[in-house]
Amino acid sequence: MTAHTPVFCSIVPPHVLDRLARSADPAVAEAARRTLAVDLGHREARTVRPASGPAEPGTGKPRRTIYDAKNGTQLPGHQVRAEGEPTLADGTANRAYSGLGATFDLFHEVYGRDSIDGVGLPLLATVHYDEKYDNAFWNGEQMVFGDGDGELFLDFTLPVDVIGHELAHGFTQHTANLAYYGQAGALNESVSDVFGSLVKQHALGQTADQADWLIGAGLLAPSVSGEALRSMKAPGTAYDDDVLGKDPQPAHMDDYVRTNSDNGGVHINSGIPNHAFYLAATALGNHAWERAGRIWYEVMTGGTLTEEARFSEFARATVAAARQLFGEGEEAAAVLDAWARVGVPTS
């Protein structure tokens, strides 16, 4: 089986960096251009990756290793912390270690999944990547975090949901393997937002109504007019800033964005399935990972999705999973209503 999911999946969309590269602020523009150039190099390195088996049997416990690139670009870098070793003086490395653990815990404790591949994949992360690097990414094998430029973006290990989001690309890579273009790509991004948000909620013990439903809260510098990179509760409202621009995400199919950039707008149109999950999760209440999250997890691992799935196919699969898991009860009704409210047909 050949994986269509790109090796390189980043948290900050290209359209944001493209805008920043044209900024009148030389420092902002330089950091963005540098980030774009590095990201392009990763995208062009390999676009497909053969699916591989586990290197060793799973243990049911996380196996984390943190590396320090020391502001270079050689991966993985210098090892600074392995599983079970004490905390370091470097808060960035400690946050990466904790975030990998929080992601492992959600999948293992809630869904009985041994790491993101289901068979104990070791979780690797490199911190302090490059200089003023404005991104974090999953490259098919490990996590990588930039320190941010300090002007617009802060340290990319600060929001635990950013770590969960990127690792969830690995989860998708090893399950439904959604293609990374068009609606399938938007679903790929949305699934990462869903599980990234669930990682945060699970770590904080939050119910659906207590959660902020923001992706990347705490990542934007204080000078930026915005709360986060994306909002699942209200797509299109996460930021509205003179330099960063305005959040372009739609919440309904009526506003679906047709574009050739960003692989067909995968980071933009993901707002639609994101909002559907938010609506289903908040309608069901309590902890979102218990029922809404279980339904989405079942769809991703159930083997019924095509790799080029459109929103309607995914929506139908969530309805079927809700009925399979919970019967014809409030769960199926909440999922049906959620997709109806974002304009995606389920029949």
- pLDDT digits 0-9 by tens, 74-115: 999 999 999 999 999 999 999 999 999 999 999 999 999 999
Cβ contacts of 7 within 8 Å, gap of 6 or more: 42, 45, 46, 47, 48, 49, 139, 140, 141
Average pLDDT, the chain: 94
Residues paired with 64 in a beta bridge: 123
Q: Give me the mean pLDDT over the 224-253 stretch.
A: 98
Confirm if 83 and 64 have CB atoms less than 8 A apart.
yes
Confirm if 39 and 135 have CB atoms less than 8 A apart.
yes
Selected catalytic residue, list 4, 128, 165, 267 = 267
Q: Considering only CA atoms, which of 155, 159, 154, 129 is closest in space to residue 142? A: 129
Selected catalytic residue, list 4, 42, 151, 166 = 166
The predicted pLDDT at position 77 comes to 98
- pLDDT digits 0-9 by tens, 311-336: 999 999 999 999 999 999 999 999 99
The residue length of the chain stands at: 347
* One-letter amino acid for residue 287 of the chain: H
- pLDDT digits 0-9 by tens, 28-40: 999 999 999 999 8
The predicted pLDDT at position 44 comes to 78
Q: From the CB of residue 107, how many other CB atoms can be counted at a distance below 10 Å?
A: 25
- Active site annotation includes 108: no
The predicted pLDDT at position 50 comes to 40
- pLDDT digits 0-9 by tens, 180-213: 999 999 999 999 999 999 999 999 999 999 999 9
- Active site annotation includes 174: no
Q: pLDDT confidence of 57, banded at 50, 70, 90?
A: low
Which residue ranges form the domains of the chain, and what is each CATH number? Answer: 2-50+65-173 (3.10.170.10), 182-341 (1.10.390.10)
The predicted pLDDT at position 56 comes to 57
